[in-house]
Amino acid sequence: MKVSPLANYFAEQGRRLAHTLPGSSIDSVAQLRTNALARFALTGLPRMTDEQWRYTNIRPLERHQFELSQSSSSNPNGVDISEWRLSNADTYRAVFLNGWFSSELSDLVNLPDTVSILSLAEILESTENGDTHTFEFALQELQSMSSNAEHGFTALGAGFTADGAVVQLGSGVTLDKPLEILFLSQDDADTRFCNVNNFIHAGKGARFQLIERYLSLGNTNHLTNSSFMFNLEADAQVDHYRIQNESESAFHIGSAKTRQKDSSRYRIFSISLGALLNRHEVIQSLDGENAHCELKGLYIGKGNQHIDNYTTIAHESADATSEEFYKGVLDDRARSVFHGRIKVAPGAQHTDAQQQNRNLLLSRNAEADTKPQLEIYADDVKCSHGATIGQLDESAVFYLRSRGLTEQQARTMLTDAFAAEIVNDIELEAVRTEVSNLVQQKLSSDNSIREAA
């Protein structure tokens, strides 16, 4: 198979940098990277001929020579974190600057003993006198990531293993405050490549809220390749809020991959606002009976943005339920892709799976592609899916104008209302307020109506 010049470039860079990366002197870590890079060299980067990437062309990436960002001191440019952290929220906070953990910007004091939040780079560097249990956990997750890589970006992610958050919650723990993981990309260089791998283990009955945020400090064209892998033991509950609001010149590839045991619950809000090219994958495996997951998403595209949400929910056991609801607003020449795969394994009786995707096109040149894909191998199941692509209801626009609102105000009100259906479901108030503000900023062509009402 012919491998693209960009893939060759990354493979070569990976080999060149391998000895500089955390844990490179440890055989198992070095071997992991070598294997992942070898896999990457074989598969290359995804192409549009791959069914899972049919509507997403990553060629724009090839115009840039992305360089893995180097770890440096904890806060080299004096970033003021108060400007960037989630406002009005009391959280535990782990901050990654250009893909590397910054202890100076983080706030993880007073964590309960039963919870650990560590930097992957530190774990890989400190095995000799460190916590072998955590090292083994991280290594095992990295190996699983590498050997189950769905595509080149995952293999690349393992091959460039650098930093990320490793979170472990003991059985029965309820974390008293949300954990905010903030990924900041600085504006002092272009073509930075930030590669982060995050592993989260929630013990039996553990509960916590996670806020995953991506921000760029300037209009740079960096590449973020970020993966999250969750393991939820029985009865664990995770609420996951993800806000991707990077620079509109950036490239962003992200994923959340979760395995759920009996009666566990995982809920995610995936909010995609930034990046020129954005792909977010949510891959659920409902391994245990009675497991429940909810995937909600909101994406807003303007200009030339391309937003791809790829989701898979595998019902592997009986009595599990899933709800999926993604909405998107597309203006200008923006494009979106929604792929919703639901697989019901043989024997996964009483599965209840619901999926909906709704798209609002505000411009003639915007485009939405939506692709539900149901594979059902059990007979006693309830599965439903629906997808719509439409425009604002002109009779509603007239109705509002007949009440004295200008045409622009009417359109703003109706578009806000479309997005609000997802935003209003966000339970965590600080996140809901933040998302609501970001969405309004992004959609704002006329703020007067929001002020008047």
Partner 1 sequence: MLSIVDLNVQIEDKNILDGISLEVAAGEVHAVMGPNGSGKSTLANVITGKVEEVARGSVIFNGMDLLDLDPEERAREGIFLAFQHPIEIPGVNNIYLIKAAVNAMRKHRGEPELDAIDFLKVVRDKMKLLEINESFLYRSVNEGFSGGEKKRNEILQMMMLEPKLAVMDETDSGLDIDALKIVSKGVNSLADAGRSSIIITHFPRILEYIVPDHVHVLVGGRIVRSGDKNLAHELEKYGYTWVVEDTAAAVA
Q: How far is the CB of 453 from partner 1 (least distance, A)?
A: 4
- Binding mask 431-450 vs partner 1 (x if CB under 8 A, - otherwise)? ------------------x-
The verdict on 399 binding partner 1 (CB under 8 A) reads: yes
Contact predicate 203/166, CB 8 Å = no
Member of 342, 413, 430, 443 binding partner 1 (CB under 8 A): 413
- The Cα–Cα gap between 157 and 226 comes to 7
Closer CB to partner 1, 42 or 417, in the complex: 417
When asked if residue 110 is in the footprint of partner 1 (CB under 8 A), the reply is no
> How many residues sit in the footprint of partner 1 (CB under 8 A)?
24
Q: Is 400 near partner 1 (CB under 8 A)?
A: yes
What gap in Å lies between CA 5 and CA 334, rounded to an integer? 27
**307 part of the interface to partner 1, by CB under 8 A:** no
C-beta of 3 vs 414, nearer to partner 1: 414
Strand partners, 308: 279, 337
Dihedral (Cα; 16, 20, 23, 28), 10-degree rounding: 10
Cβ–Cβ under 8 Å, residues 311 and 295? yes
Burial (CB count within 10 angstroms: exposed 0-12, middle 13-18, buried 19+), residue 34: middle
Site for partner 1 in 47-76 (CB under 8 A): none
By the rule CB under 8 A, 406 interacts with partner 1:
yes
Q: Using the minimum distance from each CB to partner 1, give the nearer residue, 377 or 398.
A: 398
Q: How far is residue 367's CA from residue 453's CA, in Å, rounded to a whole number? A: 32
Task: Pick one of 393, 444, 445, 447: the residue that binds partner 1 (CB under 8 A).
Answer: 393
Interface segment toward partner 1; rule CB under 8 A; list 47-55, 176-184, 259-267, 396-404: 396-404
Tokens 């592609």, residue located: 369
**Which long-range contacts (C-beta less than 8 Å, at least 24 apart) are formed by 406-412?**
406/446, 408/445, 408/446, 409/446, 409/448, 409/449, 411/362, 411/445, 412/443, 412/444, 412/445, 412/446, 412/447, 412/449, 412/450
User: Would you say 159 and 14 are in contact if contact means Cβ atoms under 8 Å apart?
Assistant: yes
Q: Does 388 bind partner 1 (CB under 8 A)?
A: no
When the beta carbons of 81 and 392 are compared against partner 1, the nearer one is 392
Does residue 326 bind partner 1 (CB under 8 A)?
Answer: no
Contact residues for partner 1, defined by CB under 8 A: 393, 395-396, 398-407, 409, 413-414, 416-418, 420-421, 449, 452-453
